[in-house]
Amino acid sequence: MKLNEKSSLPVAIVIAALLLSGSMVFLGFKVDMGKYIKTDVKEALNEYIQEQQAKAQQPQVAPDDQPKIIPGDLTDDDPVEGSKEAKVTIVEFSDFQCPYCGKFYENAYQDILKDYINTGKAKLVFRDLPLDFHPGAMPAALAANCAREQGGDAAYFKMHDKLFADQKALFTDTTKIDTTLKQVAAQLGLSSEAFASCYDSKKFQAEIEKDMNDAAGVGIRGTPAFVINGEYISGAQPYANFKAAIDAALAK
């Protein structure tokens, strides 16, 4: 977002409301605001509105109710990126349509991948937590699991990367999500017939629902959420926060 001053946010909301109507009345005259607001500012305001709407809908966890240390093995039989022998295990609960999950992918994830996963120090276990107010999230989770059925974890993470890298475009019209995901599968070189059979039958819905139940069982209700060798981290936090948790786990 391009509006950096916190004090400008209420003003941004007012302007955004005006933009939605396309005009305002000033000194008795109706003014077309569209002529005076630059495109990049409109986009920034629209992005802010969308973020606030998503945040308002996202399940909230009271600070004293947030899990800090989660004992036990949360890996289950889920796709793994990196060496399975790595000392540190990062379990991520995520939603392919969640904008905050997309921000994590664009930012901290890339550094974690470079510094820890690709160097064999850590592995990432990806678990599905599609939120019910994201209509494309469950279909996308089904698609990723169907990709894994054909090509293993490597195919899963190719689908994972594609869904997050092109998140805004792919989820713009979720009424066409079935067609969109089948097109993505074909672009990734998967067998269209086998993918369609798997996807249309919702073959992996029970597996996805197990991920959801496991998350709920330890108090995780929003995305993205991470458990790093038992330590809980909530949200698309800066890379430095993940680095600190991973380094602490490596030092033990």
Instruction: Tell me what pLDDT residue 70 has.
Output: 80
For domain 80-251, which CATH number applies: 3.40.50.2000, 3.90.1640.10, 3.40.30.10, 3.30.470.10?
3.40.30.10
Q: What are phi and psi of 235, to 5 degrees?
A: 90, 170
Instruction: Tell me what pLDDT residue 64 has.
Output: 42
Secondary structure (3-state) at 122:
strand
- Residues of the chain with confidence (pLDDT) below 70: 1-67
Cα 97 to Cα 81, 202, 212, 224, distances in angstroms:
20, 18, 15, 11
Secondary structure (3-state) at 225:
strand
Spatial neighbors of 125 by CB under 8 A, at least 6 apart, are 74, 75, 76, 78, 79, 80, 89, 90, 91, 92
Instruction: Tell me what pLDDT residue 6 has.
Output: 42
Question: How far is C-alpha 60 from the chain's CA centre?
Answer: 16
**Tell me: the pLDDT tens digits for 4-21?**
444 444 545 544 444 444
**DSSP readout, 75-118?**
-TT--EES-TT-SEEEEEEE-TT-HHHHHHHHTHHHHHIIIIIT
Instruction: Tell me what pLDDT residue 215 has.
Output: 95
**Tell me: the pLDDT tens digits for 51-75?**
555 554 444 343 445 667 787 789 8
| 238 preceded by a cis bond (ω within 30 of 0) | no
Question: Domain locations in the chain?
Answer: 6-57, 80-251
Instruction: Tell me what pLDDT residue 48 has.
Output: 60
